[in-house]
Structure 1
């Protein structure tokens, strides 16, 4: 609330091309949000330059949290875009088949359908099956702990 009031006061000089608003809903499939500005519902505020089906190409997008404050910029008549966010729910960065995303549940690094979590899991599970006849076996407890830890970091 303090941030919202501060930004509102900073904008009280009549410059209304940038204004604070509260996020009411997020549409990750179309890369838009609906916001509330002084009791007025403003829909389809852009999170990317392109929205809808065209937006599912390369790019970087920050998804704000519902009920967080965002700065909205008027791009042109009837066209609004989120300029800054106060709280991030998740973010996605995509370049070709490569993708990085993060949210409260962890990080996801992918190349097409292959994820870093899958690769690390396969390596650890393969090493866990190794039996050494001369020398020392792998530390199976540490391997299991590593697998458990990586699953809390990656998704």
Structure 2
């Protein structure tokens, strides 16, 4: 299935359950929200998203703890999980996705290379985070990350 087919299938499942989705995006810069809203009728289940690119936005809008950012960094499993929980709480969603990473081509370190991305899902009684390392192409990293976020949500919905 291509990206839009997956987004449409997710939309059908969310609509059938009466669930609402929220997004917190950093390195994808709104691409995930764009893909969700390419599906006609997405307003039935998509509440909205927050593009929290800076640490300040992550803290002030999503409630990511300052200590988390100091100890683990913005590109970390801990930050991704807090972003997902924060946007779900902020928008009153049933399920939320968050993406944070280093899109590139610069900004990487030996511990956190370019292409490192964390994608988290938050739902009542369930939280999951996946780690990916893509390449050094910024546009490709954003596209891969948005696609992987859709797959995470699709996998979660399939388990219910």
TM-score under structure 1 length normalisation: 0.31
More helix by share: 2
More strand by share: 1
